[in-house]
Structure 1
């Protein structure tokens, strides 16, 4: 257990120095928040009631779907994987340590948005602080699980970037953070429900707990874990 915790802490320290993680988990989400926060609230004063949740969904999706997968490819698509196997280190350790490290970084970024938004843009705080952060933690975990699937299944960086964007852009556009879901055509409403961003946004904006928003996230998380186990076993054989 101590070795595992050492690995997680070491990965967290390495990620702090990573320019890629710095950009995707901090710079891009916080820059977008600084620019679009003012635009959203100027165009629609009512946006301040969901500004924190909207910017959080964007930040989590950016870090999990765009930032995490390339870092996993650096391990499982390179000779680092051979070093793991040669030294008897379980292959899952790299994925789990990166998952936890990215979780912490993304949570820090979301906390910054939570603190700054009311000061900078007069954004309304969520009605229930515990419910909000429990919902946020669930959303981050599910989004990172999808990022893990991408990082383990695609070895080519260029191809990975394209696939990540194919998942990232629709999840943002169809989640309801840019425009109300009610304004979307029926097909896009249905399509948006396959992305965790839609359910994460709904959970974080709800004033009370609603199981109907949690079970889709749980199903996506369970499915991602099963796929990750399968991909790790396949990597073990190569």
Structure 2
């Protein structure tokens, strides 16, 4: 456990110096927040009620789907995994440390949006801040779990970038954070319900919280973790057959 804690701390320090993580977890989401926050509140003053949630969902989705998978694939899709085998490091260690490090960064970014939204755009604050952050944590965990599946399953960086974009773009366009889903054709609205961002956004803006939406995200999280476990077992088997 001590080794795991040190590994997470070390990974977090390495991520701070990563340009890729700086762009996907901080720079782009916060710039998007500053630009679109001004646009939304100018054109649609009522968007102040949902601005915090919509910008948070966008930032978390980008950091998870675009930022995390390449880092995982870089380890499990290259000879770096031989170093883990040679040093008798558990195969889950790298993905777990990357997962938890990304979780910390995304929560920091989300906290910045939470603090800046009312100060810069007079955005409405959640009535129950603790419950808001509990739902945010659930959404971040679900998003990162899906990102781990991508990184563990797809090792080709070109294919991984394409698949990550295929998941990320519907999460932004069809989740309701840019415009109401009621404006979408019915089949696109149905596709949007396959995106965790849709349910995460609902949980962040709903008062009171609908337990059915919590259940859906929890089920997605469980399924994603089971798939990650299966992929890690496959990787463990490949470890044993490495020359």
TM-score normalised by L of structure 2: 0.96
Deviation string for 1:167-216 (max 9, x for gaps)? 00011111100110111111112111111100000000012222111111
Deviations, residues 29-84 of structure 1 (Å, cap 9, x unaligned): 00100111100111100001100000000000000000000010111111221111
In the TM superposition, residue 149 of structure 1 has moved relative to its aligned partner by 0.2
Give the aligned partner of residue 98 of structure 2. Answer: 98
Deviation at 1:236, TM superposition (A): 1.7
SS of the aligned residue for 1:155 comes to coil
The runs of at least 4 consecutive aligned structure 1 residues that moved more than 2 Å come to none
Q: CA deviation at 1:164?
A: 0.2
Question: In 1, distance between residues paired with 2:153 and 2:115?
Answer: 36
Q: Distance in 2 between matches of 1:53 and 1:78?
A: 37
> For the residues of structure 2 that align with 1:112 and 1:191, how far apart are their CA atoms?
30
Contact 1:181 1:189 in 2 (8 A): yes
- Give the conservation status (yes or no) of the 8 Å contact 1:174–1:189: yes
State the alpha-carbon separation in 2 of the partners of residues 130 and 193 from structure 1: 26
User: Within 1, Cα distance between the matches of 2:132 and 2:94?
Assistant: 29
Provide the rounded CA distance (Å) in 1 between the counterparts of 2:22 and 2:137.
Answer: 20
User: Which residue is 1:114 aligned to?
Assistant: 114
**1:237 CA displacement:** 2.0
Q: Equivalents in 2 of 1:208, 1:91: separation in Å?
A: 41
Q: Which residue of 2 aligns with 1:13?
A: 13
TM-score computed with the length of structure 1 as normaliser:
0.98
Aligned to 1:41: 41
| Unpaired segments ≥5 residues, structure 2 | 239-243
Aligned length: 238
Aligned to 1:77: 77
Aligned position for 1:186:
186
Q: CA separation in 2, counterparts of 1:216 and 1:192?
A: 14
